[in-house]
Structure 1
């Protein structure tokens, strides 16, 4: 029996009650499965078409469709079901408690709140008379680790559909500000390889930490410090060495040292080009130091999200929000979302949703009920505009 919510608040409380900590962190291969099944049953009971879009080794994306007329364009809304971990939380992460005008729990803000508001707005849209387009809501998986679901949708699932979105609204907590551009990234590990030996006779080995120290200095002076790319909405491109490891014990010269390098991209930059530049610099450093070896591995990337249609979709969304009393403007952020992958596939994409990113991933994560109501009104306005 599907628990039928009587309000969007109740729907969100149900959604928060499901443990959907991302599989990469939890080790649960289909972390979103129970929530996906609940939403599929609810959407079916409400008269929508439901299908699961499979992903090998993971829970599939859940697609909810409301087709008015096959000849009309489709607008798709996306919200990810997975969350970050719950360690250190000061509230019941799955309680969905409502107090002082807020709903608490892991994912309440990032970003089950957007999903609940989208589905509730679709319910209102379907019951109304103003229906100028077909609407789909995609509940995607694995966003908190390299946007698994969004990648699968553009690389595999689009080909399975008999329609292509004319636009995508990706849900993230933006306080209902419309993001028309966001940052991308390319990140990977670099390892220097030496030769271990007893530290009482270090000349018999090759110290990988010394090599890594040279590489880190070169990266800071000759690459990171020279990044100049900027974007009017997203801001400045950047890079950082975020993790470093090396050595096993105090009396052994280390045979390996590893860093994690995080290069943040702005629209107009190419991740492969930046990767090539860093690899060339690392090769130059290695060539100048006898015995030094550098390997590159564990690559991850996401393209930056720029405007596909000259900003027309974003501007239309701002106008629609203003029509229901939500003041917004086209903005940008340096972080990465599912929207990056939809835009890279050539689909006009914006990022907008209820909640404040400052509350995401926090020990007492919450979303205000006022923001949730604004999300419903805003999404419904975009659907109808």
Structure 2
């Protein structure tokens, strides 16, 4: 990796914040200790900061740009250590590295910051933020893109719970029971969204069963089946259209759908995207425009606020949630430089 070296007044503090945050477990729903570290970081730098009713860390300031990332991580204990210039530990990539870089750049430039909770589960922090504050002029959401990457698009997300019940009977009977009905429904859904090898995954629906429970009911008179399912939604399809198609495959049972997260695809021609291209080139890199097959809080921000936005952050997203999650510290330093340059460019108008 070719990076341009700079002396920064906050470089040591940035790395200290990063290591402290990665060393502090913060699985979804248990972010309070990590939030306290962020609050202390902003207080040391004489910034207004508070924890809101959702548990988000808010440091309001110049709303030319809102730098935001999530505090929570997925579960998993990876011993925290620095090895050959790389920080190992849960969250180092997703998304504590981007979070620490955002906090540092916000302190460096005086722009607004928000560290949000429960992105890995319900996105309750981002949902609350959208309802609780006015629209900023621009948003930079923190997720790993690699220091040269600028993420413009994410697929949407829809999850539901299929429930079916049938009368119990001898297993020799040919009638379908609730378990078979659940399996039959899911096979029809998968067939409806069969993968197309000629189209990018980003443009397709991905179907995934993530949980199943079935068997004889407690009363001994029924067979019950419950299946948790998830869908990733491309920008060309709405959650309502996907839900309608899945429901049309039902013969028995019902599906209880959760509130969807819509897909997002931002333009590469906004002032935010341009500022990142300039800053990345200034750091010796070659900007790459990305579309991610997953989902992020940017989907919610784009659905609520009519302002330009991108997602950016250090780290290899292939290591998200992985047992070998680690972040090169020189990449982290460079991402802080780039975020700082971008925030200054946007603040200067």
**TM-score > 0.5 by shorter chain:** yes
- Cα deviation code 1:175-223 (max 9, x no counterpart): 02001111111121212221124x36758x86212322432332233x2
Q: Is the 8 A contact 2:319 2:325 kept in 1?
A: yes
Equivalent residues, number: 332
Q: Which residue of 2 aligns with 1:210?
A: 180
- Cα deviation code 1:143-177 (max 9, x no counterpart): 110312111111x2125xxxx31111111111020
- Cα deviation code 1:22-74 (max 9, x no counterpart): 12xxxxxxx1112212211221220111122212xxxx21111334xxxxx52
- Change in Cα spacing, 1:234 to 1:218, as seen in structure 2 (3 Å) is closer
Q: Which residue of 1 aligns with 2:123?
A: 147
Q: Which residue of 1 aligns with 2:17?
A: 11
- Change in Cα spacing, 1:273 to 1:384, as seen in structure 2 (3 Å) is same
Q: CA deviation at 1:347?
A: 3.0
Secondary structure of the residue aligned to 1:78 is strand
Distance 1:44 1:61 in 2: 16
Q: Which moved more, 1:212-221 or 1:186-195?
A: 212-221
Secondary structure of the residue aligned to 1:22 is coil
Q: Which residue of 1 aligns with 2:225?
A: 257
Q: What is the aligned counterpart of 2:67 among 77, 84, 103?
A: 77
How does the TM-score come out when normalised to structure 2? 0.86
Q: How does 1:40-119 map to 2 (within 5 A)?
A: 40-55=39-54, 60-67=55-62, 73-86=63-76, 89=77, 91-92=78-79, 95=80, 97-119=81-103
- Unpaired runs of 5+ residues, structure 1, are 24-30, 68-72, 127-134, 287-292
Q: CA deviation at 1:79?
A: 1.2
Q: CA deviation at 1:6?
A: 3.7
Q: CA deviation at 1:139?
A: 0.6
Q: Is the 8 A contact 2:203 2:235 kept in 1?
A: no
RMSD: 2.8
Distance 2:176 2:298 in 1: 46
Q: How does 1:118-129 map to 2 (within 5 A)?
A: 118-126=102-110
Distance 1:227 1:74 in 2: 42
- Change in Cα spacing, 1:225 to 1:206, as seen in structure 2 (3 Å) is closer
Secondary structure of the residue aligned to 2:255 is strand
Q: CA deviation at 1:228?
A: 11
Larger Rg: 1
Q: Which moved more, 1:322-331 or 1:109-118?
A: 322-331
Distance 2:203 2:239 in 1: 17
Q: Does 1:321 align with 2:272?
A: no
Q: What is the aligned counterpart of 1:274 among 242, 247, 268?
A: 242
How does the TM-score come out when normalised to structure 1? 0.78
Distance 2:269 2:122 in 1: 27
Q: Is the 8 A contact 1:74 1:167 kept in 2?
A: yes
Q: Which residue of 2 aligns with 1:165?
A: 136
